[in-house]
Structure 1
């Protein structure tokens, strides 16, 4: 039986107040699919799915923080033990932050499952086929992204692809292999691409958003030709996607949904992005419990490495002199977007794919496009090894506060060299202890 899964599905769709899953009685379980009965309720469910993606425990702060704090460039300045474990790369299976992210991602998946199951059966005459396809495509895309995040964070996981209506619906479901988990991601992306509209939308999934995530997916799977070709589809669409100058143009001065952004989550005064609270110092309305480390500050402030990317950090006035991150700064409203895919990533994906394909001149051109936008002189990297290191260094500074660093080091097998962590079992997060207790079919990651 999977009490955590079926109750979280119910909570996410019907808006039941948050409680620990072990405190919720099975008698409160209902068929949440009944909530999707016509075009309007389907649209409400899809809007809610994006809210789940942007929730505090997912892209609203917590999931990205797993990468921030694990990657070595961000320090934890607070007193709570769970984030400190992550920053020290000494995570235990009862880590609350890890558990919250796991549950938030599965909550998102299970809500997507209800939409995928219910929408094709609706006979509402006001529900046009194109709109049905869009909603289905969005649900497939978000489920693909969710399983992608589980795969890179925890390895192979349980693949739950149908709604959970009663206790025991998915009893006996074992963890799939990493390869099978990634295969499910690609299957969902392919379905999404067939269903989604072709236009440009920076806050909702379209075919273009699928291409961008496919580029990242194929990079992780080391399928270089496919990574490059999907990245090129975005890069060559210059009418809609561009590297903006200077670097700060995509976030400064209350910018949102700019041509730099392929996919970002929008927030409002009633649906806030919690990042600013953790990054900004108390003088600016935050708690500054995540802060750039000294080496990152030095690299960003060095004109030869940071260029105009130094705009992403600032320092408080004396006597504090505290460095802090400025990507999320819209206090007290909390309306900063959460950036999931930017054009710069597509350039660096294509650069890496080209380097692996022995196309050094083309790889260097992509690296230098990103450097030029940052106000940096061109790189002269020539060998494959030099190109790959240059890409790693650019990603480090380009996405300093966007949850990329740890996953990128794991993907490229650079954790031991860069961070000194040699136990490869620790390159994935632990399956939460309470989930293991709740589900006898779930197994832990080795080493935890």
Structure 2
């Protein structure tokens, strides 16, 4: 048993994180040794930089978001088990163990930063600055815990549900590697505690590469909306709306809608529309750290060109093609991309907004085009959330659709005409479709929407998958076997053994 614990400990502690020079002009700290102890402002910043650097992999971008799009039924790219929701502990799908491992590597890095910075003296780092840095670390921890809950726990369930997550708030060691999962209510409470601390103590937005007070509010609002929207809990929805309104009421000049949608993706992490975005360092490894799915997978998941005579362009969509192709955003976010293999010079029609030029052509371009951003939260999502929250809390139809029409009016390229739903069902359908067309494969929004929005009394995911039976317990992934074997206190998700 001791050997097994040591192996899993190495999975969390021994991961070598990429350099974060472009984040903080310092090497990241990730090794829990005396030499690398957090002892001053420089090492404190480096520890936080190590958390951001831990997001530079496929697990925090395409492997996660393309899988979620596949689970929703809009595409079928990552694995058939994702599309059919037939994964289990023995057959989890190709990406699931790696995603779990990388989530907890990031969590360990966050706890290392929080613990070390919290122990610094006033002489090393003044209290106000130290408090803000701890708040940043706790916001990062909340972001990581939220992703674990959304993907491996019963995020939709009541507080007493036993299938929350392993909430880790200290650095992994041989003494604490065995830990039971929390209830759903306890999991949310832990995340909200960190976010409330961040809202109270974190600095204002300055760059989308770092977390801010505004992002802490947006993340809490999103957690409340996802669960409250599914469960129809008014208190959660009203609090979420309050948080969204607070962000919109205090705009930052460097966080705003782009008038051109093409600029959002052309600028990638430098677009003003990002509140939080995954940045990749320009160290020659972007094609690798960008991840397989954005640089390769969605390209081959699209349409091979030239199309057969009896086929039409889909960009890989199994559902929603007619919606998207009628929308002015279609020719902006999709396009022809060279195949990513060196030997394959064919073109593929796919979601170019994420694939860009593809792994091969992007590396050959002059200058290189390898800005494979992961768009964790964009300004447009505030309007989408507000519209849904207004609709779910009883606002008039014209009032509820107004935020989306405001969002659409701010786009001048392409021009998006205002929407005019005639009844409540049409309103909810239009909001759902707008989430899909604005955010598809960027941050998982379409999957969670497909579960909480209804079509003919059933979650949209049922209609998308042509009335295939939907089992809610199978929406989350199984806990990987390595965790089940080495953490004897862990209990597998129901129906996924």
CA distance in 2, matches of 1:340, 1:427: 21
Q: Residue 65 of structure 2 corresponds to which residue in structure 1?
A: 64
List per-residue Cα deviations over 1:60-89 (Å, max 9, x = no partner).
x3222321221222232xxxxx73322343
Superposed, 1:160-175 pairs within 5 Å as 160-165=168-173, 167-171=174-178, 173-175=179-181
Superposed, 1:120-199 pairs within 5 Å as 120-123=118-121, 125-155=123-153, 156-165=164-173, 167-171=174-178, 173-199=179-205
List per-residue Cα deviations over 1:385-424 (Å, max 9, x = no partner).
3222211111111111213222222344433343334222
Pair 182,39 (structure 1): closer, same or farther in 2 beyond 3 Å: same
Asked whether the 8 Å contact 2:39–2:124 carries over to 1, the reply is no
Asked whether the 8 Å contact 1:268–1:335 carries over to 2, the reply is no
> CA offset at residue 170 of structure 1?
4.2
Determine helix, strand or coil for the equivalent of 2:329: helix
> CA offset at residue 182 of structure 1?
1.4
CA distance in 2, matches of 1:124, 1:242: 37
CA distance in 2, matches of 1:313, 1:40: 43
Is 1:279 aligned to 2:298, yes or no? Answer: yes
Pair 280,207 (structure 1): closer, same or farther in 2 beyond 3 Å: same
Q: Residue 313 of structure 1 corresponds to which residue in structure 2?
A: 334
Q: Residue 308 of structure 2 corresponds to which residue in structure 1?
A: none
List per-residue Cα deviations over 1:228-255 (Å, max 9, x = no partner).
1211223234443332223222112x44
CA distance in 1, matches of 2:35, 2:473: 39
Q: Residue 9 of structure 1 corresponds to which residue in structure 2?
A: 12
> CA offset at residue 189 of structure 1?
0.3
Determine helix, strand or coil for the equivalent of 1:214: helix
Pair 239,109 (structure 1): closer, same or farther in 2 beyond 3 Å: closer
Pair 353,408 (structure 1): closer, same or farther in 2 beyond 3 Å: same
Match of 1:201 among 207, 217, 227: 207
Q: Which stretch of the first structure deviates more once superposed, 63-72 or 234-243? A: 234-243
Pair 428,406 (structure 1): closer, same or farther in 2 beyond 3 Å: same
> CA offset at residue 131 of structure 1?
3.1
Match of 1:215 among 218, 221, 226: 221
Aligned length: 417
CA distance in 1, matches of 2:271, 2:137: 24
Q: Residue 249 of structure 1 corresponds to which residue in structure 2?
A: 263
Unaligned runs of 5+ in 1: 17-28, 77-81, 283-289
Determine helix, strand or coil for the equivalent of 2:58: coil
CA distance in 2, matches of 1:180, 1:430: 20
CA distance in 1, matches of 2:208, 2:399: 27
> CA offset at residue 4 of structure 1?
6.0
Q: Which stretch of the first structure deviates more once superposed, 377-386 or 155-164? A: 377-386
Q: Residue 348 of structure 2 corresponds to which residue in structure 1?
A: 322
Pair 346,208 (structure 1): closer, same or farther in 2 beyond 3 Å: same
Superposed, 1:19-418 pairs within 5 Å as 35-59=37-61, 61-76=62-77, 83-93=79-89, 94=91, 95-123=93-121, 125-155=123-153, 156-165=164-173, 167-171=174-178, 173-222=179-228, 223-240=236-253, 241-252=255-266, 254-270=267-283, 272=286, 273-274=290-291, 275-280=294-299, 292-293=316-317, 295-302=319-326, 306-315=327-336, 322-328=348-354, 329=356, 331-332=362-363, 333=368, 334-360=370-396, 361-372=398-409, 373=411, 375-402=415-442, 403-412=444-453, 413-418=459-464
CA distance in 1, matches of 2:70, 2:227: 24
CA distance in 1, matches of 2:67, 2:336: 24
TM-score (norm 2): 0.76
Asked whether the 8 Å contact 2:237–2:392 carries over to 1, the reply is yes
TM-score (norm 1): 0.84
CA distance in 2, matches of 1:245, 1:369: 12
Across the aligned residues of Structure 1 and Structure 2, the Cα RMSD in angstroms comes to 2.9
Asked whether the 8 Å contact 1:247–1:309 carries over to 2, the reply is no
Q: Which stretch of the first structure deviates more once superposed, 413-422 or 146-155? A: 413-422
CA distance in 1, matches of 2:452, 2:485: 30
CA distance in 1, matches of 2:277, 2:223: 18
Asked whether the 8 Å contact 1:67–1:406 carries over to 2, the reply is yes
Pair 124,39 (structure 1): closer, same or farther in 2 beyond 3 Å: farther
Determine helix, strand or coil for the equivalent of 1:262: strand
CA distance in 1, matches of 2:200, 2:251: 23
